[in-house]
Amino acid sequence: VPAVAIVVAAGSGSRLGADVPKALVELDGVPMVRRCLDALADGGVTSVVVTVPASYEARFQEALSGSPVPFRTVVGGARRQDSVRLGAEALAAGNPADAVVLVHDAARPLVPSGVVAHVSRAVAAGAGAVVPAVPVIDSIRELDDLGSRVVERSRLRAVQTPQGFRLGTLLAAHRHVEAEGIEVTDDAGAAEAIGHAVTLVPGHRDAMKITEPVDMVLAHAILAGRK
């Protein structure tokens, strides 16, 4: 299923602590953001908007030269949700409202192309908001005023990206949360705020988010296992 995509890469990566924005950090010599475009292209994405930190457009253009898919960069916003909204506005200029759009974190460079394709297919099949999700491994306790209580783990899922929508849905959702001052942690949450149901599809361990230095060790191990 053909789709367009927003790769959000405008964060600084403060927890990773590299001397460049996280999306420019290389894994085996390839910047994370470039790995994302490779995976998205393999999964059927035909054009991409990349949100980048202010004053880094040239660095991202360079990191993405030779991309298998056409892309353009736009400067992101203060919060992730602002970056997604700005990316969606940029895509709205050249794409119809019913285009399938995927929103992907640059910090998930090893997402399998099969997950990408699965998300697009689910949107094309009629789902309003699609989220790849994986079971939670840790036991979880929820805090309350009296202390804490165990949460039934089998009912929990950790959400990943890419998340999929129709472009019109994504734009309306992000314009709504912006106008209402609602904070969301993911894009499906914004779609839910305008009444869309969320469809879960299987995620994959390799779509893990690189957040802290130790995550780079796991990412290198995943790459080594692919060779």
Binding partner of 107, given ligand CTP, Mg ion, none, CB within 5-8 angstroms per partner class:
ligand CTP
Q: Is 41 in a helix, a strand, or coil?
A: helix
C-beta of residue 88 within 8 angstroms of C-beta of residue 8: no
Binding partner of 196, given ligand CTP, Mg ion, none, CB within 5-8 angstroms per partner class:
none
The DSSP element (H or E) to which 5 belongs, if any, is strand 3-8
Nearest residue to ligand CTP, scored by beta-carbon proximity = 11
CB 150, min distance to ligand CTP, A: 28
Binding partner of 221, given ligand CTP, Mg ion, none, CB within 5-8 angstroms per partner class:
none
Q: Is 221 in a helix, a strand, or coil?
A: helix
CB 16, min distance to ligand CTP, A: 6
Q: Which residue has the tokens 């602590």?
A: 17
CB 49, min distance to ligand CTP, A: 11
CB 51, min distance to ligand CTP, A: 5
Q: How far is residue 17's CA from residue 21's CA, in Å, rounded to a whole number? A: 9
- DSSP 8-state class, residue 212: S
The smaller minimum CB distance to Mg ion, of residues 11 and 87, is found at 11
Which residues, numbered 5-44, are part of the site for Mg ion (CB under 5 A)? 11
The smaller minimum CB distance to ligand CTP, of residues 72 and 124, is found at 72
Binding partner of 186, given Mg ion, ligand CTP, none, CB within 5-8 angstroms per partner class:
none
- DSSP 8-state class, residue 74: E
E strand segments, 10-69 = 26-27, 30-31, 45-52
Count interface residues toward Mg ion (CB under 5 A). 1
In a 10 Å sphere around its CB, with 0-12 CB exposed, 13-18 middle and 19+ buried, how is residue 161 labelled? buried
Footprint of Mg ion (CB under 5 A): 11
